[in-house]
Amino acid sequence: MVIVKKELLAALRQVLEKLAPDAAERAQFESPKVASHGDFATTVAMQLAKTLKSKPRQLAETLRDALLATPAFGKWVDGVDIAGPGFINIRLKPVAKQQVVREILDAADSFGTHSAREQRMLVEFVSANPTGPLHVGHGRQAALGDAICNLCATQGWKVYREFYYNDAGVQIATLARSTQLRALGVKPGDANWPETAYNGDYIADIAADFLDCKTVRADDRVTTANGDVEDLDAIREFAVAYLRHEQDLDLHAFAVRFDNYFLESSLYTTGKVEATVQLLQAAGKTFERDGALWLRSTDYGDDKDRVMRKGDGSYTYFVPDVAYHISKWERGFAQVVNIQGTDHHGTIARVRAGLQAAGVGIPAGYPDYVLHTMVRVMRGGAEVKISKRSGSYVTLRDLIEWTSKDAVRFFLLSRKPDTEYVFDVDLALAQNNENPVYYVQYAHARICSVLASWAGDQRALGQVSLAALDSAPAQALMLELAKYPDMLSNAARDFAPHDVSFYLRELAASYHSYYDAERILVEDPVLREARLALVAATAQVLRNGLAVLGVGAPQKM
């Protein structure tokens, strides 16, 4: 039905072009909220009535007559009705709705996708400091980032996944000192254990492996401990590598990969931070006050000017952020998306201000941000707050071990990122319709069971006659399938993978309703093959959508 919609929109544009200049830009269809009103609707008559000095309903009637006279409407449309003050409701012929089945079976995995474009997109996500295991908030970020990458790839973007982490600073110093104390036999609760130290059992594990002179391998480094408890630099290097390895295990279990790991320290060692400061000074966008160097960020909409370099000579954290994003721009990424927690909201204005002030050609509004809230975890009717592994929070690996990778991904992508979310472990384990991932996966498995019982050549279903698919349940399912390409495009534009999970639940519901209404493996071979083609197309779209979310599509459950 993708082709059908394109032809009907083209016809609408042609009709509008004859009415007024630029009117064709208003050509678009909506899905009526009430199925009985039709399959497509347009409000263009009400939008143009004032410009054309016409009554909306009268203009709608003129448009209806002109549209019905076009070849496309004659071929695909059963009728056009006028409702209310000028709504134009379009009812499609069954043959028009049936086209989507053929399109899906022909396109298979690529249904709904767009051809490759030249632009490159960088998505930065997770970016956890290597000071402890990944927590559930990191898991939400990992699910969001990976799904957004998959979404944008369906629209032709060349997507590059990047993990940025702070391998220096106060937190890393605290990690090193905590590990050193554990290696010396000091533990949480002892009189000389610092309040700021990290208390999780993982610190003891790092210390033990350091003393045993073990080697750890992460995706971006290999480090062997020297066992010298007085060598704080060696402890720091080993601890960071150890936790990077632990994070890799979490990410691998979550089926998340990265193209690059970017070290904050490299911005200093390569001189990018200092070069960025010089750019801002040369542009006249800085001033000195109280022994500190400030950025005139209020010139770019920030609520106050920001300190760049403190009196002790150290830089505030947003300065390397600006340098890092200039690096992204210089590496050729015209589109950049950052997935971060809502606690980073305050950094957006100052980073964008710094990028504009630097004067290197970066457009306003660069980069884009997707901010997410943290996640609460419920298990057995009570909130879970502490993990033995971390000492303070539920880790991503805990959640995967308690449920599954698929459940964690789907659940964390089932709400808008900026809304609070409670992950119910018991619900994630339930095998019933209340569990959304089970509900969607079961729809796919149910279709696979039907196709296996048939035991025919599924490749041949793309050529069968679809004329028998004229019942209300079949047409409702086909209309739901036809929504997939636009839904995918809009979700990618809005960086909204939750729209995919919403759609999949609607599609699963439509399939379950169809399955309950019509028997598929009937005696009539023509009717049987048509229905098999419809459910095979449904399974394909379920697989495609689940793949965008990084969730499996099991054939048996």
Q: Which residues in the chain are classed under CATH 1.10.730.10? A: 433-549
- In this prediction, residue 510 carries a pLDDT of 97
Q: DSSP label at 261?
A: E
- In this prediction, residue 1 carries a pLDDT of 79
Distant-in-sequence, close-in-space partners of 48: CB < 8 Å, separation ≥ 6: 16, 19, 20, 23, 26, 54, 59
- In this prediction, residue 429 carries a pLDDT of 97
Q: Which residues in the chain are classed under CATH 3.30.1360.70? A: 2-92
**Mean pLDDT across 514-541:** 97
Q: Note the pLDDT tens digit of each residue in 436-483.
A: 999 999 999 999 999 999 999 999 999 999 999 999 999 999 999 999
**Mean pLDDT across 41-55:** 91
DSSP three-state, residue 79 = strand
- In this prediction, residue 387 carries a pLDDT of 61
**Mean pLDDT across 131-159:** 95
Residue 388 has pLDDT above 60, yes or no: no
**Mean pLDDT across 287-315:** 93
- In this prediction, residue 117 carries a pLDDT of 86
- In this prediction, residue 165 carries a pLDDT of 85
Contact 415, 498 (CB under 8 A): yes
- In this prediction, residue 267 carries a pLDDT of 94
Residue 532 has pLDDT above 90, yes or no: yes
* Minimum mean pLDDT range among 39-43, 391-395, 421-425: 391-395
244 vs 240: CA distance, rounded Å: 6
C-alpha triplet 109, 111, 117: angle, nearest 5° = 95
**Mean pLDDT across 423-430:** 97
**Mean pLDDT across 355-383:** 95
**Mean pLDDT across 354-383:** 95
Distant-in-sequence, close-in-space partners of 187: CB < 8 Å, separation ≥ 6: 181, 193, 204
Contact 474, 518 (CB under 8 A): yes
- In this prediction, residue 69 carries a pLDDT of 95
Q: Note the pLDDT tens digit of each residue in 60-97.
A: 999 999 999 999 999 999 999 999 899 999 999 999 99
- In this prediction, residue 344 carries a pLDDT of 87
- In this prediction, residue 495 carries a pLDDT of 98
**Sign of the alpha-carbon dihedral angle for 392, 393, 396, 402:** positive
Residue 518 has pLDDT above 70, yes or no: yes
pLDDT band at 112, cuts 50/70/90? Answer: very high
**Mean pLDDT across 100-119:** 94
Residue 187 has pLDDT above 70, yes or no: yes
Q: DSSP label at 290?
A: T
Q: For domain 433-549, which CATH number applies: 1.10.10.10, 3.40.50.2300, 1.10.730.10, 2.60.40.1730?
A: 1.10.730.10
2-92: in CATH 3.30.1360.70: yes
Residue 239 has pLDDT above 90, yes or no: yes
Residue 390 has pLDDT above 70, yes or no: no
Which two three-digit tokens encode residue 288?
Answer: 């000195």
pLDDT band at 228, cuts 50/70/90? Answer: very high
- In this prediction, residue 391 carries a pLDDT of 64
30 vs 496: CA distance, rounded Å: 19
Which two three-digit tokens encode residue 445?
Answer: 């498995």
Which two three-digit tokens encode residue 547?
Answer: 């793949």
468 vs 524: CA distance, rounded Å: 11
- In this prediction, residue 522 carries a pLDDT of 97
The mean pLDDT of the chain is: 94
Residue 499 has pLDDT above 90, yes or no: yes
- In this prediction, residue 168 carries a pLDDT of 72
Q: What percent of the chain has pLDDT over 70?
A: 99
| Closest to 518 (Cα-Cα) out of 555, 477, 474 | 474
- In this prediction, residue 389 carries a pLDDT of 57
